[in-house]
Structures are given as C-alpha cells and as structure tokens.
Amino acid sequence: MATEITTVDSQEYKFNPLNFGSLHFTVKASNDAHIALTATPDNKPPKYEIFLGGWGNTKSSIRKNNEEPDKVIVDTPKLLNGGEARGFWIKWGGGFIGVGKQGEEKPFMSWQDEESLNVLFYGVRSGWGATGVWTIEDNIYINTEDSKEFIFRAILHGSISFSVDSANDAHIVLATKSKESEPMIEVLLGGWKNTASAIRYNKQTPDKVHVDTPQLLCKDTPKKFVIFWRDGVYEVFSEKTKLFEWKDSNPFSISHYGVRTCWGAVGNWHIHGAADVQFKSQVVPTPKPKPLKGKAPPAASPGWNLDGISSGPVHWVHASNGQIPPNALPGGFDASNEQLYVARAEHNGALIPGKLVPSHGVVYVPWGGVENPKENYEVLCNCNGTWVKANNGEIPVGALSSGHTEDGEPLFVGRGELNGSLTVGKVNTKY
C-alpha cells in the first residue's frame, strides 16, 4: 500500500525506510518539493538532496552533503502544480543518481558521484511558502489478471522479495527494459497446474531448470518468495527453502522486473523490496580471484588480468539504457563534467569501443565519421589499468583488444581531449 504524507512549509524532513534502489512518488505542491536520500533517519551527511521546482518553480537540482554549489541545476519551468499531483521517480546505484518524470524512461536530471552512498532512508519536505501532499510507492501491491502480459517496475537491487496468492502460474521476468526484450530471465512458479516450476531464458525451451513443486502456490494464502541474482547466478527461494538455481554464462544487468498470472489464474502480489537478511546469509559470495604476478600479458592472451590488490579478470558486462554495472571503468568527462565510462557496442557488423554517457541512456560508438547511439551495450568492468600516451595509431604493449572492425581487424580503447572534454573512442591501427 502506498504511503500518504502531508508536509507543511518547513525545513524539517519526514523520514521513512527504503526497500528499493528507486523511489516512485507523486507530489502536489506549488514549488519546492524536496527529497533527501540518507543512511540514517535524520538530515545528516552522507546524503543526497533533490530539489524539485525550486527558485519559484523554475529550476531543479541535486545537492550532496549540504555542499554548494549544487552538483546539477537544470531548468524545469512549471514542473510542479499546487492543484495537481505530478509523478516522478528517482533511481540510484553505483554512484549514479537520476530523476525523471512518471511515464518517461530517461531522467531529466542526473549526476555521477565518485563514490556510492549507502541509501537506507528517504525524507520529504516542502518549503519556501509551499505545502505538499505526497504519495510514496514504498511497498508495491499489484493485481494481475489471467494474461500473458507482464506488469513492469524498475529495480536496482540484486534481489527481490515478494508474496503472491494465486492458484497456479505466477511468473516473474527479469529484464533490461520495461518490456519483454532479450536478454531476459523468466521464473515460472507453480506452473503445469501447480505441479512444477522453472527458469526460462529468452523464452527458449527446454527450460534451463525444471523442478517438481507440487502445491507451491495457494489461491487464498499468500506465499513468500525471494529471487537473488549475482554474477549470472539466479537463486529462487520459497520461504527459507531454496527451490532451484541456474548459472548464466553471459550475465547481464537487470533494471526491471515484471509479474503476471496466466493459464486460468489471477494473482495478488505484494512486492516487499530487497531480500531479507535471513535469506542473504544463505548466499555465498563469489570469491575474488587472486592477483597475477608480473606484467600484464599481451591483449591477445586469454584471461587478460592486471596487477594490483584490486585486480581480477577483466570482463565486459551487458547493460542498457544508461545502466552502470559495478566496478565500471571511468574513461573521462564530457564538456558538462559528467563522468564517461568505457564501453562497446555492435554496429554494422563491427564491435566498436566507445563512451557510455549515463544521462543520455546510451553508448556512443564512432563509425562513418559520426557518433552512433546504442541503447544496448557492454561496459568494461574490474579493470584498474593505466592510460598510456600514444600517437598516430600506435598501440602500447599489453593494450586490451576491445573490439573489431566489420572486416575483423582489432580495435582498441583510446581517449583524447576534444572541445573541453576528455572523451573515449576507438583506436584503429590502420587509420
């Protein structure tokens, strides 16, 4: 059930705990609707503050730890309305924080922090002459009909805890978009007339996992489940019992989940948020590989690694729509001082290194003399290498081969100063 909050003209926040790495809400205010994201239930650093409709309902901004100037200030004329509830969302993770309007996927305001704050609480307030009426979707309730269509929500945690009452066939999809699109994972609970459950990848059969689960669901009694995902490992729990798991050899970043009931069933869902601590204790973290000794081998060598205490196998992580996977490699800054990341994407038969611009929701790859935007891409992660100066297509020893041309020639990552930015692109030895 959504939380209703009324705020007066005051500098005091009203705090509540968070379950997600995102916040969905509506607010009715003439100006200055403020949200604080904090580690504790009080207005103390470390924290982020989002100011909506400030400066007489003309601008909005993001502030960190009471520091001025604000990290981001954007023009948002008439963003709020004292007679109408307006919907917004805030998402954060890996130091990235984005603010958008309800029904729009891309943020109208975002910022990349150099560190990632542990956000556990949110607070709301209204000020500068304004009062506010807020509706916060903290615990989400969803009713599903007998339908093959999923109802989607955003999620940034690597787990989800939920309850559902249904006679059979309660399905959950984990995806990169707010719609069915590859890659995606489906968890089918109580299928086959409530006798079996499964994990399905990209709607392909046979299922990756198929187990007997007689009478797993109940039409009139909510049953609690937890799904974890980390490094491509998916684990599904019923109450405190693990039902099954599966390892994906090509892991991807999950930004949305969807729920549905079908095959004659309807369902009532209660999304609790991230998994309970009692479940987390049962998950064994993936051990970090030991650092290699000596210099990095040539790029063509399998298992390319880097020296240093935080080193490990370099890998490209699937992501989309501006997502930044953990341990992504920063590559530079654009002219507005937004952090750019090293990434790559397919284009016209080539796999081309480029730059991830989180606020744009895309990776730009250079080809044909222009920057080509790509919503689906891979980000270079777990890489603590050194940028080496080079000229005229020179490739330093030990450089990481990061793609190929449409003719199969290797491409490498490079960066350079351009129009006030330090931007990332491709290096081709032939040009």
| Residues 297-308: tens digit of each pLDDT | 333 322 333 333
Count of H-run helices and E-run strands, the chain = 3, 34
Res 156 pLDDT > 60: no
The CB-side HSE value for 282 (13 A sphere, CA atoms) comes to: 19
Sorting pLDDT into bands at 50, 70 and 90, what band is 314? Answer: low
97-102-105 Cα angle (round to 5) = 60
Sorting pLDDT into bands at 50, 70 and 90, what band is 326? Answer: confident
290-295-298 Cα angle (round to 5) = 105
For tokens 């041309």, the residue is 405
Q: Which amino acid type is present at position 320?
A: S
Closest CA to 94 of 374, 379, 336: 379
Give the ranges where 250-347 is alpha helix by DSSP (H): 277-280
Taking the C-alpha atoms of residue 69 and residue 396, their distance in angstroms, rounded to an integer, is: 40
Domains in the chain, CATH or no CATH each:
2-137 (2.60.120.200), 140-272 (2.60.120.200), 315-427 (no CATH)
Among 21-35, 91-105, 282-296, 347-361, the minimum mean pLDDT is found in 282-296
